[in-house]
Chain A
């Protein structure tokens, strides 16, 4: 496999359920990200991990709990979600820029479409 893979692609859960989203990158990158994409809104950065350490928590509610066991895997644990949490959750990875001219672009997975009933 290559690139960034996310599972599951689709998830329906009730507000009392506990589920997890998984992301795996095969690019050798050292940074991984969770983004939330809601309808008609810009992508919202949720969490950033650099070398397995969380470096960004963008005021995300505690019902979302990230986990990064190594630089290739990233999880988003979900519990007691609300219907407004229904969205496409995108995982991305990037390589730390070594030089100013390095682009540092993000490589995204196809996302996990979450529906909270």
Chain B
């Protein structure tokens, strides 16, 4: 079974609008972490935002916020005021314990296109 599910293969948004990228996860660990990464065409994976499973408040980093709904096991990324430079692949990832060590498991990603 997939640990991280990103069901939207691609999304289009107008510049300056907000967009929500969906992510659901599956784990039985009580302690885990959730990440969002951005991958532009250059290839580098850029860390955007992190949410710990015990964090009481939703994480925010500038224009990025994470809508963390623990009971639903979802960790959606919200980008406010989209910019053309936000066009990229976006990956949701989860840190969990596997085989006694921490590992980062990634979803398949989704492509965001910001239109002028």
Contacts and interface: CB of A to CB of B under 8 A. Distances in A.
Interface of A: 40-43, 45, 48, 55-56, 88, 90, 92, 97, 100-101, 103-111, 113
Residue of A56, A97, A106 with most partner-chain B CB within 10 A:
A106
B91 A88 contact: no
12 contacts: A42-B4, A42-B108, A45-B103, A48-B101, A48-B103, A56-B101, A100-B31, A100-B54, A103-B35, A103-B52, A109-B44, A110-B44
Contact of B42 (A40, A97, A101, A110): A110
B-side interface mostly: strand
Contact of B108 (A41, A88, A100, A101): A41
A42 B107 contact: yes
B43 to A, nearest CB: 4
Contact of A104 (B95, B105, B106): B95
B91 A111 contact: no
A107 B46 CA distance: 7
A110 B32 CA distance: 26
Nearest to A107: B47
B108 A111 contact: no
A-side interface mostly: loop
A88 B43 contact: yes
B53 to A, nearest CB: 10
Contacts of A97: 102
A108 B45 contact: yes
Given A56-B101, A104-B102, A113 B50 contact: no
Given A56-B101, A97-B102, A43 B91 contact: yes
Nearest to B95: A104
B43 A40 contact: no
